[in-house]
Structure 1
C-alpha cells in the first residue's frame, strides 16, 4: 500500500510539471536578436534623415551641382552651391547681379510630354536635389543682367554692356571674354529676366534664344532660388561674393533697383 501510494503521489506530482513544461514550450516566442533590432533602427533613422533632407532641400536650401563652365570664374565645374529657396518667397524679386538657378522649360528648352522611366527620373531628381547628381536638363544657373522693364544693349563704343543707358563694368567676366560677340538691343518684359553666363564665350543663355518664342526671357516664377553660398570644395567654402557692377543703374521704373 505504501508503495502504491508513493507511485500515485509521484504520478500526480509529475503530471502538472510536464504539462506546464509543454505549455511553456508551446507559447514561448524567441526574442529578436539585438543585431537585427539595431539594423532595423539604423535603416529607419536613415530613411527619416533622408526624408528630412529632401523636405529641407525642397523648401529651404537646395544643394546644386554645377555641371558646366558657363559661370566661370565665379562657379567652376563640380562646385556644389547652396540655393536659397526663400530668397524670393516673401515679395522680393531677383535683382540685377543675382546668380540664380531656374527652370528653363519654355524659355531655354522646349516643353516635352512626360514619358520614359518614371522611377529612374524620380531617383535622379532626388539625387540632384541633394547635390549628388547633375541637375535636370531643364535647370540652369546664370546671372541676372536685366529685370522687367530694363533695356539691355550690347555693346557701346567701348564694348561694354549697357542697362538703361548706363555702361556696366562686369568685373566677374571670364578673363579675355567680351561682354558679348552677339549684338542685341532688347527690352525685358515685366515679370521676366534677361540672364547671361559669366563665361560669355562658353555660355548658352538668353542671347541664344533671341527670335524664339519668349525671346530668351525667363519668367520670374520659374526661378528656383538664389545662389548664396559655396558648399564644396572646402577650399572655396563660404558665401558667394556679390558684385557692384549694377550699382547706380537707374531703374526702368520705380519698382526695380
Structure 2
C-alpha cells in the first residue's frame, strides 16, 4: 500500500508545451489589462517636456498623478500641481500640461508689481525659482474653472499667454503626486 502512494506522489505530469505557453499568455494578458486599467482610471503617468515648472519639477522628469484626487467631490486646492488638457494658442489642439493651481472659482487674481494677489491679498509663493518679472494682469476666475501658472514664471507659457486663461475642472486629468525618474520623491 505504501509503495503505491509513493509512486503516485512521485509521478508528475509530462511537460506540455501548449499548456505552458497558454499559462504564460494568460499571465501576460492579465498584466496588460491591469496596467491599462490603472493607467486610464487611477493614475496618470507623464513626462515633463519643458522647464515651466522648475525647480519643483525639472525637464525630463517622469511623474505620477492621481486621477481619483478630484473625483467623488474632491476639489483642486491652491498650490496643487495638476495635469490637465488645454488649448495653448488660437487654433492649437489641446495638449497635456502641468501647472500649479493659483486661482480658484470665483476669485479675483491680479498680477502687479511682480507679485500675485488673490482677492487683494499677496500670495506667498516659496516654490518660485526666482522673482517674477511680469506685466500686470487681472483675472476673474469663473465658477467651475481654475487659473494655472508655472513655477518658473519668467519662462512659463501659462494662463498669462493662453487665449482662454481659465481651465474647467472637467479638463483636469490628475493631481501630481510624485516623481519617479530620475529621482524619486513627493512633489509639493
8 Å CA contact 1:177, 1:199 repeated in 2: no
**Structure-1 residue corresponding to 2:153:** 200
Matched, 1:147 2:94: no
TM-score normalised according to structure 2 size = 0.83
DSSP-derived class of the 2:161 partner: helix
Q: Deviations over 1:80-128 (max 9, x none)?
A: 2111111110112111111000111xx435476xxxxxxxxxxxxxxxx
**Structure-1 residue corresponding to 2:7:** none
8 Å CA contact 2:81, 2:176 repeated in 1: yes
Matches within 5 A, 1:17-96: 34-35=16-17, 37-96=19-78
**Structure-1 residue corresponding to 2:141:** 188
DSSP-derived class of the 1:138 partner: strand
Q: Deviations over 1:29-58 (max 9, x none)?
A: xxx974454344323322221211110111
8 Å CA contact 2:44, 2:173 repeated in 1: no
Structure 1 unaligned residues grouped into runs of 5+ = 1-31, 113-136, 242-257
TM-score normalised according to structure 1 size = 0.62
8 Å CA contact 1:108, 1:216 repeated in 2: no
Bigger radius of gyration, 1 or 2?
1
Q: Deviations over 1:11-33 (max 9, x none)?
A: xxxxxxxxxxxxxxxxxxxxx97
Matched residue pairs, number?
174
Matches within 5 A, 1:83-232: 83-104=65-86, 107-108=87-88, 110=91, 138-156=95-113, 159-174=114-129, 176-178=130-132, 180-209=133-162, 212=163, 215-232=164-181
DSSP-derived class of the 2:76 partner: coil
Higher-strand-fraction structure:
2
Structure 1 residue 224, shift from structure 2 partner:
0.5
- Provide the C-alpha distance between the structure 2 equivalents of 1:196 and 1:220, rounded to a whole number of angstroms: 15
8 Å CA contact 2:178, 2:184 repeated in 1: yes
- Provide the C-alpha distance between the structure 2 equivalents of 1:67 and 1:40, rounded to a whole number of angstroms: 40
DSSP-derived class of the 1:101 partner: strand
Q: Deviations over 1:160-202 (max 9, x none)?
A: 211111112311112x341x52320111111111101111122
Greater than 2 Å deviation, 4+ residue runs: 32-44, 107-112
